[in-house]
C-alpha cells in the first residue's frame, strides 16, 4: 500500500472512531435526558405525582394537594401531557414499568375496564367501601369504576351534559330556559329568526360528535340508551332513528353550527351572541369564566328536555377517575392521597377550582349555575346515564364516533350511519365478550 493509502486508511478509522464517540455521547445524553424525565415520576418526599392530560387543571391539583397535605402529609405534583392520544399511550406503557406515576387520571366505564384488564392497577375496593360508609360517593357510580367486581378507580369529578345559554341574548329576545321540547323548538326558531345559530355542534377533535347523539337518544328514551350502550339493543331501532332524524332536521334547518366549528370558541360565541346554546359538560363553566362571563348573570344552563313529556327524566354524567398503578413509585403515599381525595375539605377547594360539581355528593358546587343543576337533578330524580364515550368498548366507541362525524358532515344519511354503527357494534361486542371469556 502507498503511503497515501496508509494515511487514508489511518484517517478513516479515526474519523469512524470520532463518529462512534459522537454517537455514543449523543446516546448517553439522550439516556440521561430519559432518566431525568423518568426521575420526575420517581419518589419525592412529601409528594405524590399525578399524570394528567389537562394542563389547565395543574393549579387545581396543587391547591387540592395543599389540603391533602393537611390530612395525609403528601401534596400533589401534576405531570401533564396535554395530547389525549399520546397521554393514553404513555400511561399504558409506563404502567408496565417501575417509572409509573403515583396517581393517574383516567376515564371511567369501559376505558377503565380495558386498562384494568391489562393488569397493573391497585384494587381500591377497601377505599371505596370507606367512602361509601361516609356517604362520600354515589352508590350508582360503582359499576362505572369497577372491573369484575373490584373497584379500580376513585371518582375525580362529576360533570353533567347541559346546554349553556347567554342570559342577555335570551332576555333581549324574550326567551327563557326551556322546560319542554316545544319550548326548546320555540327558542331555536326565535334565535334563528334573529340570525343567531341556535345550537353549537362540532366534530373537531373527534369525540364531540358523540354529544348530540347521546343527548338526543337519551331524551327520546333513557332506558333505550342504557340498553343500546350495553349492547342489548340495536342501533337500527326506531328510537335511535327518531333521535337521528331530529338531529338531521336540526342541521337541515340551519339550527346547528358547521361541524368544523371549534368548541374552544364556544364561550366566546355565546358571549358575542352568534350562538344561542352550547351543549357541553358542566366542566365548561370554568371556560365561561375565562371568557369573562359571570354565572347566573351572563350565562345559565339547563338540561335538554325530553322529546315526549312522559319520558323518564335523565342526565348524561361524566366522571373521570384516579387509578393507582400497583408499581407506583410512592405507592403508600398514593394510597393515602386517594383515600383522602373525597374528603369535603379537599373537594371544596377542587370543586371551587373547576367550578363544577364534586364527585362527593355532600359537597355543593359553589358555582350557582351548577348548583342549580344539581338541585334540578335531585328534585326531578333524573337518572344519571354514563357518557357514551365510556359506556361501551373503546374500539366500538371510536369507530362509531367517526361515523357520527361523517354524518355531521353530510356524508351519510341517518339510516346508513345507524346501520354502520350497528354492524360495528355487532363485531366489537362479540370481540369484547370473546376477550372477557
Partner 1 sequence: MAPAVLLVTLFLLAPFVWTVYRSFFSDTRTSPFSWFDNYSLFASDPALSRSIQNTLMWVLGTVALPFVLGLAIACMTNAGRFSRLARLCVVLPYALSGSAVAVVWNFMLTTDGAVNQVLTGLGLDSLAQGWLLTWPGNTVVMILANAWQATGVAVILFLVGLQSIPPETLEAGALDGASGWQQFRHIVLPQLRPVSIIVIGMSLVNGLKSFDLIWVLTQGGPGRATETLAVSMYNETFLELRPGAGAAIAVVLTVIVLAASWLYLRRQLDVKGV
Positions that interact with partner 1 (CB under 8 A): 16, 20, 23, 85, 88-89, 117, 203, 205-206, 258-262, 394-395, 398-399, 402-403, 405-412, 431, 434-435
Alpha carbons 46 and 36: distance in angstroms, whole number? 19
All cell numbers assigned to 56: 389547565
Nearest-approach distance from CB 258 to partner 1, in angstroms = 4
Query: How far, in Å, CA of 68 to CA of 415, rounded?
Result: 51
**DSSP structural state of residue 383:** E
Smallest gap, in angstroms, from Cβ of residue 251 to partner 1?
Answer: 12
CB of 118 to partner 1, least distance (A): 9
- The nearer residue to partner 1, 143 or 435, going by C-beta atoms, is 435
Minimal distance, residue 282 CB to partner 1, in Å: 26
* Residue with Cβ nearer partner 1 (293 or 408): 408
Contact between residue 47 and residue 74 where contact means Cβ atoms under 8 Å apart = yes
Judged by beta carbon, residue 333 or residue 391, the one nearer partner 1 is 391
Q: Which CB atom, from 176 or from 395, has the smaller least distance to partner 1?
A: 395
How far apart are alpha carbons 61 and 59 in whole angstroms? 5
In terms of Cα–Cα distance, which of 208, 188, 297, 203 is closest to 252?
A: 188
CB of 399: closest distance to partner 1 in angstroms?
A: 6
Pairwise CA distance, residues 205 & 184, whole Å: 27
Total residue length of the chain: 437
Report the nearest approach of partner 1 to the CB of residue 328 (Å): 24
Exposure on the CB side of residue 114, measured as CA atoms within 13 A: 19
How many beta carbons lie within 10 A of that of residue 20, not counting itself? Answer: 11
Could you give phi then psi for residue 16, rounded to 5 degrees? -65, -40
In this structure, how many other beta carbons lie within 10 angstroms of the beta carbon of residue 365?
22
Q: Which is nearer to partner 1, 39 or 415 (CB)?
A: 415
In this complex, which beta carbon is closest to partner 1, that of residue 46 or of residue 205? 205
Amino acid at each position: 500500500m502507498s503511503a497515501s493509502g496508509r494515511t487514508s486508511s489511518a484517517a478513516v478509522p479515526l474519523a469512524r472512531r470520532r463518529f462512534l464517540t459522537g454517537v455514543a455521547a449523543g446516546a448517553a445524553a439522550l439516556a440521561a435526558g430519559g432518566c431525568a424525565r423518568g426521575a420526575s415520576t420517581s419518589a419525592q418526599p412529601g409528594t405524590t405525582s399525578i399524570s394528567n392530560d389537562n394542563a389547565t387543571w395543574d393549579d387545581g391539583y396543587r391547591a387540592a394537594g395543599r389540603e391533602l397535605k393537611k390530612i395525609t402529609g403528601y401534596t400533589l405534583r401534576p405531570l401533564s401531557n396535554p395530547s389525549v392520544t399520546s397521554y393514553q399511550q404513555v400511561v399504558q406503557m409506563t404502567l408496565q414499568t417501575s417509572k409509573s406515576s403515583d396517581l393517574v387520571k383516567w376515564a371511567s366505564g369501559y376505558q377503565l375496564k380495558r386498562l384494568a384488564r391489562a393488569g397493573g392497577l391497585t384494587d381500591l375496593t377497601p377505599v371505596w367501601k370507606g367512602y361509601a360508609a361516609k356517604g362520600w360517593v354515589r352508590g350508582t357510580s360503582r359499576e362505572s369504576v369497577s372491573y369484575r367486581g373490584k373497584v379500580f378507580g376513585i371518582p375525580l369529578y362529576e360533570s353533567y351534559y347541559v346546554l349553556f345559554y347567554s342570559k342577555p341574548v335570551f332576555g333581549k329576545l324574550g326567551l327563557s330556559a326551556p322546560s319542554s321540547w316545544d319550548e326548546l323548538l320555540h327558542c331555536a326558531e326565535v334565535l334563528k329568526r334573529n340570525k343567531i345559530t341556535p345550537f353549537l355542534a362540532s366534530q373537531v377533535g373527534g369525540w364531540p360528535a358523540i354529544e348530540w347523539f347521546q343527548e338526543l337518544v337519551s331524551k327520546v328514551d333513557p332506558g333505550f340508551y342504557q340498553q343500546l350502550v350495553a349492547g342489548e339493543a340495536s342501533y337500527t331501532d326506531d328510537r335511535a332513528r327518531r333521535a337521528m332524524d331530529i338531529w338531521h332536521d336540526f342541521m337541515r334547518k340551519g339550527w346547528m353550527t358547521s361541524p368544523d366549528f371549534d368548541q374552544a370558541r364556544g364561550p366566546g360565541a355565546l358571549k358575542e351572541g352568534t350562538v344561542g346554546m352550547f351543549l357541553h359538560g358542566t366542566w365548561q363553566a370554568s371556560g365561561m369564566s375565562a371568557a369573562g362571563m359571570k354565572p347566573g348573570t351572563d350565562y345559565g344552563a339547563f338540561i335538554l328536555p325530553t322529546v315526549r313529556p312522559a319520558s323518564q327524566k335523565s342526565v348524561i354524567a361524566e366522571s373521570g377517575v384516579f387509578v393507582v398503578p400497583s408499581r407506583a413509585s410512592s405507592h403508600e403515599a398514593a394510597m393515602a392521597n386517594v383515600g383522602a381525595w373525597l374528603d369535603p375539605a379537599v373537594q371544596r377547594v377542587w370543586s371551587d377550582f373547576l367550578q363544577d360539581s364534586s364527585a362527593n355528593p355532600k359537597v355543593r358546587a359553589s358555582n350557582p349555575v351548577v348548583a342549580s343543576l344539581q338541585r334540578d337533578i335531585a328534585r326531578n330524580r333524573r337518572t344519571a346515564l354514563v357518557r357514551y364515550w365510556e359506556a361501551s368498548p373503546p374500539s366500538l366507541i371510536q369507530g362509531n364516533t367517526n361515523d357520527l362525524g361523517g354524518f355531521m358532515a353530510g356524508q351519510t344519511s341517518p339510516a346508513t350511519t345507524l346501520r354502520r354503527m350497528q354492524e360495528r357494534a355487532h363485531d366489537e361486542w362479540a370481540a369484547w365478550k370473546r376477550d372477557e371469556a
